Structures are given as C-alpha cells and as structure tokens.
Structure 1
C-alpha cells in the first residue's frame, strides 16, 4: 500500500503513538507522517505509507486550517492547556477590540517559536531542552495567515478559525493575540480541520484506515506535475534526466521546487526538479 492515509488524531495521544497504532492495525511498517500535532490537539494527521514517504516534503509543506479555542485573561508556561496556568486579572476588552486585534494577524506572520515545540537545534528538540532545565534559543518563524475569522466570543473564551501556511505555531498565535489585547492568553483546544485537500470530515480512525486511503499517484496530482513522452519516462525510471522537449503536458508552475512526473499512461514515475534547461530525478518511485 503506497499512498496517503487521512487519519483523525484524538486529543491526548502523541503523533508517534497514533502512527504506531496505524502500523499495528494495518501491518504497514514502512510508514511515517507529514507533520505532528501536539498531544492535546486533535484532527487531521497525514500518514505516508510505503513509497509515499519519498514525497514527505511535499505533504509537509501543504497549507493547514485550524479551529482554535483561546482562553484570554491567563497565561501558560507551555502556551497551552497542559502547562501551569496563571490568571492575569486583566481588564476585559470589548468585542470590537478583540475583533480588531484578531483581524490584524491576517497576512505575513513573524512569530517567536514556542519553547515547548518540536523545533530542533543541533538534533535536539526545543521541548527536550526545556524539560532538561535549559533555555532554547530564540528563533523567529515566518509564515502567512491567509484567513483568520472569529467563530465565537464568550469571554474569556475566544474561538477562531485559521487557514495558514505550513510552519505556523497556533500556540504562538494565541500568545500574541493575548499580548496585543494586554490580557495574556493561552491555547485551550486545537483541532486541525484540513491539510491541503485532506479534510477532517473525511478522516478516519486507525481501524478504518482503508477508507481514508488515497493512492500516491492520485494524491500527487493535486501538486504541479508533468507528463512525459514514452522515451523520457523509460529513462526516468532509471534516474536519468530529460529535457523540456520530452514534456507532453504541464499542470501548474514547474519552474521551481520538486514536482511529480507521470508517463503518458498516467503512471507515477518520480519526483523531479528543474536544473537550468533540463530536469533531473530527485526521488524515483518503485510502485
């Protein structure tokens, strides 16, 4: 089974533990995931089975959408509900002020990476450094928030929906919203409702993994891709590159980055990358 599993992660389970559940139930030992979710969070987790692991960088880079429940008027040392919570006794802002501040985060978002995060330095995750009594270095993360909408205000609770680029820390967003409101805030609940074209409404529990399966060739069609003539397709199977003249069809922008190449018959062959006027194989699939 070489493809994508759209699995629903419940709150309270680590991404690693969920992946082990999928491996045990499905018998697919060669599998990985395209981005973790914090243990307290729930929602879409993309599991890559078999040859799909070779395309992990594409799926990790997909846009995400979240529904977040933020608690204003309090702080958490982990920026979420698992940490030590301390009230700030701040004055309650008006709903108009809350709306104004939330909407101001749409666009480019430069934020400080949380100390309790899976960000790595010298092979060690930030949260590991923190739990050992150390202080992780300050790192600025750059991302983009495409949409941010208020779903409900019931102070001190604020529910928002966010569609953003990969690499956005929603715990940091909660912290920064609270900071701009001068109330403090932490992330109380988080649900990831989509990763690219994979939606929570279509995600399944590990026991139903077959129902959440998309073959790799089909899943990669959502990315910019090309179709090659038979001669180039045959060479590419052996890792040999090709030229622009070998391309029969282009779908999307293929001028930068890595993208899938298919045969004229629709067979997925490899991930390729443009190099000057030619194209080279980055990862060849064995399907």
Structure 2
C-alpha cells in the first residue's frame, strides 16, 4: 500500500536482526511514495538490531547530523576464539582455553574509557581507494585500516557467565563494537568475538520508543504514520535558533546572506562542533533553513534551505 501524502521527517525504527539496512530502506520506500527519497542514518550490520533512524524526503538532507551523534549499544561477546570479521559470521583465526574472571574483565574495560585509538574491522563498509573494505577482504587483500580516534563515554559490564558477557556502552560516531570485543580479547590474552549487537540509541532516538517494520506497515494501512514522524528540526536540538521576519526569510530563501547586526541575533563563538551553524524559523514559527556564520562573524549565510512544496 502506497500513500499519496508527502511526509518529510524521521522515523525511529527498531531494525530486527537479519535484514540489511538497505533492505529496510527499500521496504519503507515501497510503502511510501516510490519517488520520495528515503535513507537511513547509520548502517546496522545484518546481525545487529535496534535503533535505525530513517529519513524521509527533505530529512535526507539532514542525515549528517544524526551520523555525528553519540550512540548507545548493548554488545554481547564470547571468549574462546576470535574471527576475521570480529563476529560470529567469520572464520576462526585464533583460539584459547584460558579462563577470564569477572574482575579481570571489569579492569580491562576501564582501559577503554575516554578517547581511544581504534582500528576498524577489515570487514566493514568503509572505503579504501573507492572500494569497500569488505570487498577487499573477500578478495584476500591484506590492507590494514588505519586507527582513528573515537570516544567511549560510558562502558559497563551488565552480564557475565564465562565465556559469555554483555556490555552496555555509549560511544561517539565512528566507533565499532566489533573492534572493541576483538581488542578486549587481545587485552586479556583470551581471543573474543561479538555474538550480538543491539543499538539502544542514536542521539535523541531511543529503542524504548522505536517501532518495528511490521508496525510501520500497520500504521500505513491505518493512515496513522504521521504521528510517528519526527520533524526536520528534531535532530537539530544542539544548534542555536534564530527567528526571522518576512523580509529576512525571503532573502535567505533566495540565497542572500544577511548582516548579523541587522537581525537582532547575538552570536557567541564557542568550541562546540555546531558553533557556526544556526537553525532559522520564519515569522510563522516554521523551521526553514540552516545558516552558517561567516568566518568574520558578520553575516548569516544560507547553508541548507528547505522549500515547501
């Protein structure tokens, strides 16, 4: 069943283990208008489940803001052997009969808190010279992805019954849970691999309020989907707001920058990652653009403008 209305916004979807993120997107696209853009904000591997924010229509132009958000996960690992994919789908590359105690694991977890240098798995969707790393790996390539800085904001052991364990983590964008589990095994000299992953949050989207694909289909049939779509500016809560009069709004919509001194807007530079971005609302209180402060701090320039159909 396809609907005729133009929905623009985000859906907090709970992906089940099994389908790829791309399959989920194509399924939703078939439910909605085939010509309406649909995407996701952060791939979940087929093995993984949990929060997969879906962007529809004009919201696809804001996916970058969700990709940069912190993410929460529940990760299940198993000691005894490691694999080339760092999870249960790969080939065994190392094994051990060593026993790990709870206090040893908890101590090891402490070393992963804060900013760390993490090497992504070779079996990942990252690219090297235009080619996906998992394709390079399947061809037998020996490329080693460089380490990159990521942050572990919180990490705790919530279940432990050797060789199984489960972690609750809150991490920055770019973090790989599979790498964490693999590195834990190296740290404890007892190979480990990931056996389950559930994403519990992406920014303001939480698993407790996410809906599954079959529920989405039912909402479509009952024409109740709109109540489950989050507005465009829902993902922009950390960005300063400015309210524009009619003349200012028209200028920005036509790509014309405006003088900050003429807009009654007080701009205070800071070190935040969105410090030079402003979300703009028209005289009716409707969000219509993301603006960027010029390098000299004197002008507001339209970065992304969202025109009503």
Structure 1 unaligned regions, length at least 5: none
Q: Distance in 1 between matches of 2:144 and 2:106?
A: 32
SS at match of 1:190: strand
SS at match of 1:279: strand
| 1:110 counterpart = 2:117 | yes
Contact 2:69 2:172 in 1 (8 A): yes
Contact 2:278 2:293 in 1 (8 A): no
The alpha carbon displacement at 1:244 in A equals: 2.4
Deviations 1:250-287 (A, max 9, x none): 79968635442222432111122222222211111123
| 1:88 counterpart = 2:109 | no
1:195–1:250 distance in 2 versus 1, CA, 3 Å: farther
Contact 2:289 2:305 in 1 (8 A): yes
**Of 224, 228, 234, the match for 2:239:** 224
1:247–1:161 distance in 2 versus 1, CA, 3 Å: farther
| 1:6 counterpart = 2:12 | yes
**Of 262, 275, 289, the match for 1:270:** 289
The alpha carbon displacement at 1:24 in A equals: 1.2
Counting only pairs closer than 5 Å after superposition, residues 153-172 of structure 1 correspond to structure 2 as 153-172=160-179
Q: Distance in 2 between matches of 1:11 and 1:195?
A: 17
Q: Which has the higher strand share?
A: 1
Q: Which moved more, 1:190-199 or 1:84-93?
A: 84-93
Deviations 1:128-171 (A, max 9, x none): 11122223342112110100011011100110000011110110
| 1:214 counterpart = 2:230 | yes
| 1:261 counterpart = 2:276 | no
Q: Distance in 2 between matches of 1:9 and 1:78?
A: 21
Q: Distance in 2 between matches of 1:250 and 1:3?
A: 28
The alpha carbon displacement at 1:242 in A equals: 2.1
Q: Distance in 1 between matches of 2:132 and 2:260?
A: 42
Q: Distance in 2 between matches of 1:207 and 1:27?
A: 18
Q: Distance in 2 between matches of 1:144 and 1:129?
A: 27
The alpha carbon displacement at 1:238 in A equals: 1.4
Contact 1:152 1:159 in 2 (8 A): yes
Structure 2 unaligned regions, length at least 5: 1-6, 217-224
Structure 2 partner of 1:282: 303
Q: Distance in 2 between matches of 1:250 and 1:92?
A: 57
> What TM-score do you get using the length of structure 2 for normalisation?
0.86
Structure 2 partner of 1:20: 26
> What TM-score do you get using the length of structure 1 for normalisation?
0.92
